[in-house]
Amino acid sequence: MTTTVENNASANSGRTPVDGPALWPAQAQAPQVVGRQLVIERGEGSYVVTRDGQRLFDGTAGLWHANIGHSRPELAQAAYDQMMQLETYHTFARFTNDKAEALSEKLAEVSPILDPKIILNSGGSDAIDVACKLARRHWQREGRPTKQVILSREFAYHGLHAYGTSIAGLEFNREGYGTESLVPETARISFNDPEQVRRTVEEIGPENIAAIVTEPVQGTGGVNPPTEGYLETIQELCRDNDILLILDEVITGFGRVGTMFASERYGLQPDLVTFAKGVTSGYAPLGGIFVSPRIWEPFYEDSPDTPIFRHGSTYAGHATAAAVAIKHLEILQDENLVERVREFEPAFDAALEDLAARNDDVVEVRYAGLLGGVTLRESVAVDKVCDRMIDKGFISRPLRGNTLQVSPPFIVTEQELNAFLAAMDEAIGEEAAS
């Protein structure tokens, strides 16, 4: 009998897999990172500490989420207290739990949508899947079955569940699954040209479009704030053509751009808003969507024919995650952290502009709130710059377009920001000269 090992060896055509830990690395070519991974064991405010004791300034707030900093004891206590009372209970049919209800009421108070209903789940990718499903379900219920296409922007990132993969504007996240779009009926629009967006809507036909999904400020796509008139044009097209506007505020929500939601900063009135990361600052996996009355009211009518939105998951409204989120929202308010971002923004902008002015290898800097991107000349390898920065004690990440991510926790000091950007300046120069 042929053994599994022999079968694997045959399948690999004599190639030997790299050895490494059992954990599959995310978003990476495994041989390029196995043996080089940094194992983070502790966090301290704006810093994390590796297994071998290296202290690193977290210039990206993890994956854009560690807004209030790492290892806050108040949140650990909130989780402990809740688990000692009730770890969780599901929210299916007649059942719910007190913390899911309490969190939803608090979220409704700060919602960018007036009088919303809130669907809770486990994160941003979950939220995008729910929002896209609900958009199509809305038009089916309305008796307009041709409205199925979901439009999203070039360079967009909306997580990596089925819908997030399908509407990604980063082509490498959509490739390799056997079809052009994992979920059919999706298409991309220009990331910055409102007139091209108009043409795409006309070509596909508004009668076929269910929704347009957009990040107010693109994150993974290179930190792209909206060009003048862009978001306003999208909102106008949605209103004039009966297309739902879905805002992905997984990164921008809960203060990252200096307002509670970017919807407020840019004067938008969306139909659905997705959120995650900043709702707990990463202390518990939690996300969800705000649903406008236009969408939720038909599902609440007191009638035997009222439709059901067939969605739910075991951990939707997880009681411990909700308790952590409630405490986190209290910290945001009590410490005026959203206002702090707004007040810190001019210094943040000036520091990035100063970096661009003094380093000829910086092509452009872009920013909004505490969300920044530093684009380098193509000849300077951005991933190598990130490696050099780690050696210096600072974390950045490579983004699309040879761009470095700058998104520190809200508690960052001006001194820490300047040290971070000085290390970036130095690392860019070293890599350019190598």
Number of separate domains in the chain: 2
Indicate if 52 and 154 belong to the same structural domain.
no
Contacts of 7 (CB under 8 A, 6+ apart): none
Its pTM stands at 0.95
Helix and strand element counts for the chain (H, E): 15, 15
- Look at residues 293, 263, 264, 261 and name the one whose alpha carbon lies nearest to residue 276: 261
Indicate the DSSP class of residue 155: T
Q: Is residue 4 part of a domain?
A: no
Which amino acid is present at 313?
Answer: S
User: Beta 394-395 vs 371-376: how paired, if at all?
Assistant: unpaired
Indicate if 187 and 240 belong to the same structural domain.
yes
Q: Are the C-beta atoms of 188 and 151 separated by less than 8 Å?
A: yes
Determine the distance from the C-alpha atom of residue 34 to the mean position of all C-alpha atoms in its chain, rounded to a whole number: 25
Indicate if 92 and 152 belong to the same structural domain.
yes
pLDDT, tens digit only, all 434 positions of the chain? 444 444 444 455 568 888 889 999 999 999 999 999 999 999 999 999 999 999 999 999 999 999 999 999 999 999 999 999 999 999 999 999 999 999 999 999 999 999 999 999 999 999 999 999 999 999 999 999 999 999 999 999 999 999 999 999 999 999 999 999 999 999 999 999 999 999 999 999 999 999 999 999 999 999 999 999 999 999 999 999 999 999 999 999 999 999 999 999 999 999 999 999 999 999 999 999 999 999 999 999 999 999 999 999 999 999 999 999 999 999 999 999 999 999 999 999 999 999 999 999 999 999 999 999 999 999 999 999 999 999 999 999 999 999 999 999 999 999 999 999 999 999 999 999 99
Indicate the DSSP class of residue 6: H
User: Beta 403-406 vs 398-399: how paired, if at all?
Assistant: antiparallel
Contacts of 38 (CB under 8 A, 6+ apart): 50, 54, 56, 390
- Of 334, 357, 384, the residue that ends a domain is 334
Q: Is residue 50 part of a domain?
A: yes
Q: Is residue 23 part of a domain?
A: no
Buried-state track 148-177, b at ≥16 Cβ within 10 A, e below 16: bbbbbbbbbbbbebbbbbbbbbbeebbeee
Indicate if 63 and 95 belong to the same structural domain.
no
Indicate if 306 and 402 belong to the same structural domain.
no
Residue span of the structural domain in which 375 resides: 38-68+336-433
Indicate if 141 and 248 belong to the same structural domain.
yes
Tell me how crowded residue 319 is: count the other CB atoms within 10 A of its CB: 25
- Of 318, 334, 350, the residue that ends a domain is 334
Which residues in 215-281 belong to E strands, given as ranges?
244-248, 272-275
Indicate if 211 and 282 belong to the same structural domain.
yes
Q: Is residue 207 part of a domain?
A: yes
